[in-house]
Amino acid sequence: VLVGTAATIERARRLRKMLGGTQRQVGVVAAAGLEAIETMAGRLADDHRQARRLAEGLGAVRPGALRTNTPVTNIVLADLPANGPNSAAWTRALREHGVLVRAWGSHRLRLVTHRHIDTAGVDAAIVGFRRAADALLR
């Protein structure tokens, strides 16, 4: 999906043809982009609000030990204690408590809220973090 001025779109179309990108079934791929623009854009504020709730909740799990960013989008980064278990250990412990995260370096985790993450899901993630912290940060 490409968004831009008419000149940008025209240039992109020309480049696409030069590179052999005249797919006949591209509508299937474009449908996902249209759905995102027409339907999902209106609910992004919910995802961002849930991300802020998640960041605040994680920051309260172990103040000073777990630090989170103040998200402006739906992405939360959680910094783990440098002298504690690494991201891989946290990822495993969190999975045991039903929380899926992505390691983002040796001592950072990345969490993303989206339309399938509701208030109950955020609350469950915070509880999972609390349980994992109890096991990992003794």
What DSSP letter does each residue of 3-20 carry, written as one string?
---HHHHHHHHHHHHHTT
Asked if residue 20 and residue 82 are part of one domain, the reply reads no
Q: Is 58 helix (H, G, I), strand (E, B) or coil?
A: helix
Asked if residue 50 and residue 39 are part of one domain, the reply reads no
- Is 1 among the domain residues? no
Asked if residue 132 and residue 70 are part of one domain, the reply reads yes
- pLDDT at residue 22, rounded to an integer: 64
Per the structure, the count of domains in the chain is: 2
Q: HSE of 96 in the Cβ direction (CA atoms, 13 Å)?
A: 11
pTM for the full predicted model:
0.76
- Is 34 among the domain residues? yes
- pLDDT at residue 38, rounded to an integer: 86
Q: Compute the average pLDDT of residues 16-23.
A: 72
Q: How confident is the model at residue 128 (pLDDT cuts 50, 70, 90)?
A: very high
Give the max Cα distance, the chain: 60
Q: Using one digit for the tens of pLDDT, what is the confidence trace for 100-116?
A: 999 999 999 999 999 89
Asked if residue 83 and residue 21 are part of one domain, the reply reads no
Pick the range with the lowest mean pLDDT from 27-36, 58-67, 83-92, 100-109.
27-36
Asked if residue 10 and residue 66 are part of one domain, the reply reads no
Six-digit token string for 82: 């440098």
Asked if residue 128 and residue 68 are part of one domain, the reply reads yes
Dihedral sign from CA coordinates of 60, 66, 72, 74:
negative
Note down the domain range covering 33. Answer: 6-43
Asked if residue 112 and residue 56 are part of one domain, the reply reads yes
Asked if residue 78 and residue 10 are part of one domain, the reply reads no
Asked if residue 95 and residue 32 are part of one domain, the reply reads no
Asked if residue 124 and residue 72 are part of one domain, the reply reads yes
- pLDDT at residue 30, rounded to an integer: 80
Quote the percentage of the chain above a pLDDT of 70.
Answer: 96
Asked if residue 112 and residue 81 are part of one domain, the reply reads yes
Asked if residue 51 and residue 21 are part of one domain, the reply reads no
- Is 25 among the domain residues? yes
Q: Compute the average pLDDT of residues 50-66.
A: 95
